């Protein structure tokens, strides 16, 4: 079979190709997922994903014309012997001393220079790198051009460092050929610690039963059957299983063909990464659940929060003071003028020191925001705020997977330290100075004065009459209204009407005072709700937003 035929055959049965662009898009989505989820999820949970994204980035930026295939297995299974036999050169020492290979060897089919950066990244010592290309057998070896074959140390070594090196390399290579021998093919460590971990990688795994030359054909069949059964248990039923011998070149044909196919497809690197991406994204799937609700934090929860915050910030006291102040100021403006003076002696409820919005006398800069000096929240009020803040977090976390509860709670509480100041400023701005003097107050005030003037005029007139009588001057003749002399009417009518007017207006004043309180309450509630949204709900929304983005990104990673 010519090289061209071989490649065509190989490509003909190449089903399920991985599209490089699609893989890159999925990896980009994984980076996005990590970027948004990283600040909120536990450190340990994202390590595998971070490692994969970094490794994939590096591998894809390096030569995709090369396929890195590792020969892995237990000590003495014949990895180095197979490596040499495939290269048809004695490159890696094989022997009876166990373990023999301590650091990986590499053989590159084709020129070494283009593969050097890849080998630097994989981490093969420069003196352990060889090339397999000669003019003599050029055509024979041409089908393997692009193959970078690695001879790994043993994973079950008495040398601890060997296992670490094997584990590191197995994380980086594009394809693995597991080399087992007739004695140890059922090894527990091999199956549990290694093959099972590769179950997502059936498409880049080949298992060879080496040293088959030591078995009869029948025994080889029996062992192969047993090995396949074990591999099925490992979840690797799709991996090809071949019998090989490093000592008989004829027993390498199948393995060589399998490697030629791998090299021709140039798919192993992509498949490896796609398989890893599947595994990692499956693990991440438990961190993402249903979409976060549209209005994640319902009005009722926000209202409860605003109520607790209002109480803790003393908003009810301000509202009550607003009502009192309305009455106080109405009494001054519309009351019976003689009593107004007494009223004035009492302090305005909204001008009490604790509600004052004037900057303190301690020389604060003039542009500081207004603030009250209401008393600090008591323990019960603080506890109520704590509860409702946690309720906001719990409400948002309800539909989400468990691990989002902690970041949501932390977000809800992240700015609670700033809450007292913010609330105080909000109340100082929205609360006091709410009572504006209605026009009718002034009108009534004028009427009251007119009545007083009338009463005073009546009194003066009457006094003048008495004085005239005392001094035996000619008597004053008072005009009469009905039977009542006008001055008496002016005096009594002025006083009586003034008091009557004041009494009649009382319900109106009370109504106005209650309305002023309700308005103040509304304004305060709006201001406090604004603070609640900014300081508690917004940080929670930020986390929910990250969740939604992470969810969208993971969906892209998992779409195939």
Ligand X SMILES: Nc1nc2c(ncn2[C@@H]2O[C@H](COP(=O)(O)OP(=O)(O)OP(=O)(O)O)[C@@H](O)[C@H]2O)c(=O)[nH]1
Spatial distance between the Cα atoms of 381 and 373, rounded to a whole number of angstroms: 17
Q: Give min distance, CB of 276 to ligand X, in A.
A: 26
Nearest to 20 by CA among 55, 61, 48: 61
Per partner kind, with CB cut-offs from 5 to 8 A, the member of ligand X, Mg ion, none near residue 90 is none
Spatial distance between the Cα atoms of 514 and 469, rounded to a whole number of angstroms: 54
Member of 67, 84, 100, 205 binding Mg ion (CB under 5 A): 100
Spatial distance between the Cα atoms of 420 and 340, rounded to a whole number of angstroms: 39
Site string for ligand X, 354-393 (x = CB under 6 A): ----------------------------------------
Per partner kind, with CB cut-offs from 5 to 8 A, the member of ligand X, Mg ion, none near residue 191 is none
DSSP secondary structure letter of residue 178: E
Q: How many residues bind ligand X (CB under 6 A)?
A: 24
> Residue 526: in which H helix or E strand, if any?
helix 486-532
* DSSP result, 97-150: SSS---S-EEEESS-SHHHHHHHHHHT--GGGEEE---STTHHHHHTTTTEEEE
Per partner kind, with CB cut-offs from 5 to 8 A, the member of Mg ion, ligand X, none near residue 267 is none
Site string for ligand X, 146-165 (x = CB under 6 A): -------xx-----------
> Is residue 262 close enough to count as binding ligand X by CB under 6 A?
no
Q: Is 507 helix (H, G, I), strand (E, B) or coil?
A: helix
Nearer to ligand X, 211 or 529 (CB): 211
Helices (H), 235-288: 253-265, 268-284
Q: Give min distance, CB of 197 to Mg ion, in A.
A: 22
Spatial distance between the Cα atoms of 386 and 529, rounded to a whole number of angstroms: 16
Member of 211, 220, 334, 372 binding ligand X (CB under 6 A): 211
Residue range at the interface with ligand X (CB under 6 A); choices 75-83, 121-129, 370-378, 493-501: 75-83
Q: Give min distance, CB of 411 to Mg ion, in A.
A: 54
Q: Give min distance, CB of 161 to ligand X, in A.
A: 13
Member of 37, 46, 70, 75 binding ligand X (CB under 6 A): 75
Q: Give min distance, CB of 85 to ligand X, in A.
A: 8
CA distances from residue 443 to 114, 336, 348, 440, 449 in whole angstroms, order as listed: 98, 13, 22, 5, 10
Residue range at the interface with ligand X (CB under 6 A); choices 241-249, 301-309, 324-332, 463-471: 241-249
Per partner kind, with CB cut-offs from 5 to 8 A, the member of Mg ion, ligand X, none near residue 493 is none
Q: Is 132 helix (H, G, I), strand (E, B) or coil?
A: coil
Nearest to 491 by CA among 457, 443, 446: 457
> Is residue 101 close enough to count as binding Mg ion by CB under 5 A?
yes
- Enumerate binding residues for ligand X (CB under 6 A): 73, 75-81, 94-96, 98-101, 153-154, 210-211, 213-214, 245-247
- Enumerate binding residues for Mg ion (CB under 5 A): 79-80, 100-101
């Amino acid at each position: 079979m010519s090289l061209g035929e071989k490649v065509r055959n190989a490509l003909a049965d190449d089903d399920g190709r991985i599209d490089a662009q699609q893989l890159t898009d999925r990896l980009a989505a994984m980076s996005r997922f990590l970027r948004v989820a990283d600040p909120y999820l536990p450190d340990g949970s994202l390590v595998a994903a971070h490692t994969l994204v970094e490794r994939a980035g590096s591998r894809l930026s390096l030569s995709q014309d090369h396929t890195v295939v590792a020969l892995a297995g237990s000590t003495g299974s014949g990895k180095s012997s197979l490596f040499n036999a495939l290269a048809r050169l004695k490159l890696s020492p094989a022997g009876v001393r166990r373990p023999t290979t301590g650091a990986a060897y590499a053989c590159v089919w084709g020129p070494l220079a283009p593969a050097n950066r890849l080998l630097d990244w994989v981490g093969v010592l420069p003196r352990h790198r060889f090339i397999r290309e000669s003019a003599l057998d050029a055509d024979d070896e041409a089908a393997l051009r692009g193959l970078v074959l690695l001879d790994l140390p043993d994973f079950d070594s008495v040398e601890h460092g060997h296992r670490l090196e094997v584990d590191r390399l197995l994380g980086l290579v594009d394809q693995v050929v597991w080399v087992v021998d007739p004695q140890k093919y059922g090894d527990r460590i091999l199956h549990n610690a290694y093959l099972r971990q590769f179950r997502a990688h059936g498409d880049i795994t080949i298992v060879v039963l080496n040293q088959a030359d030591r078995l009869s054909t029948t025994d080889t069949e029996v062992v192969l059957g047993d090995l396949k059964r074990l591999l099925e248990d490992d979840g690797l039923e799709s991996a090809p299983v071949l019998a090989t011998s490093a000592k008989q070149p004829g027993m390498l044909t199948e393995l060589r063909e399998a490697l030629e196919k791998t090299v021709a497809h140039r798919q192993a690197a992509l498949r490896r990464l796609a398989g890893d991406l599947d595994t990692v994204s499956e693990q991440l799937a438990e961190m993402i659940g249903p979409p976060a609700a549209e209005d994640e934090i319902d009005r009722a929860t926000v209202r409860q929060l605003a109520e607790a915050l209002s109480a803790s910030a003393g908003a009810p006291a301000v509202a009550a003071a607003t009502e009192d102040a309305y009455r106080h100021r109405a009494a001054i403006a519309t009351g019976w003028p003689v009593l107004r003076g007494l009223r004035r002696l009492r302090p305005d409820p909204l001008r009490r020191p604790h509600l004052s919005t004037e900057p303190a006398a301690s020389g604060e800069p003039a542009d500081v925001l207004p603030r009250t000096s209401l008393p600090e929240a008591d323990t019960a009020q603080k506890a109520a705020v704590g509860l409702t803040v946690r309720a906001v977090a719990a409400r948002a976390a309800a539909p989400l997977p468990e691990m989002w509860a902690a970041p949501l709670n932390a977000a809800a509480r992240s700015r609670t330290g700033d809450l007292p100041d913010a609330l105080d400023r909000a109340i100082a701005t929205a609360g006091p100075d709410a009572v504006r003097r209605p026009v009718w107050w002034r009108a009534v005030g004028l009427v009251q004065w007119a009545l007083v003037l009338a009463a005073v005029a009546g009194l003066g007139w009457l006094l003048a009459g008495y004085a005239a009588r005392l001094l035996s001057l000619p008597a004053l003749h008072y005009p009469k209204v009905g039977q009542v002399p006008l001055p008496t009417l002016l005096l009594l009518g002025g006083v009586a009407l003034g008091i009557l007017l004041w009494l009649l207006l009382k319900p109106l004043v009370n109504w106005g005072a209650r309305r002023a309180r309700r308005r103040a309450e509304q304004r305060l509630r709006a201001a406090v709700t604004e603070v609640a949204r900014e300081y508690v709900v917004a940080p929670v929304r930020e986390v929910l937003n990250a969740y939604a983005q992470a969810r969208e990104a993971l969906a892209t990673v998992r779409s195939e």
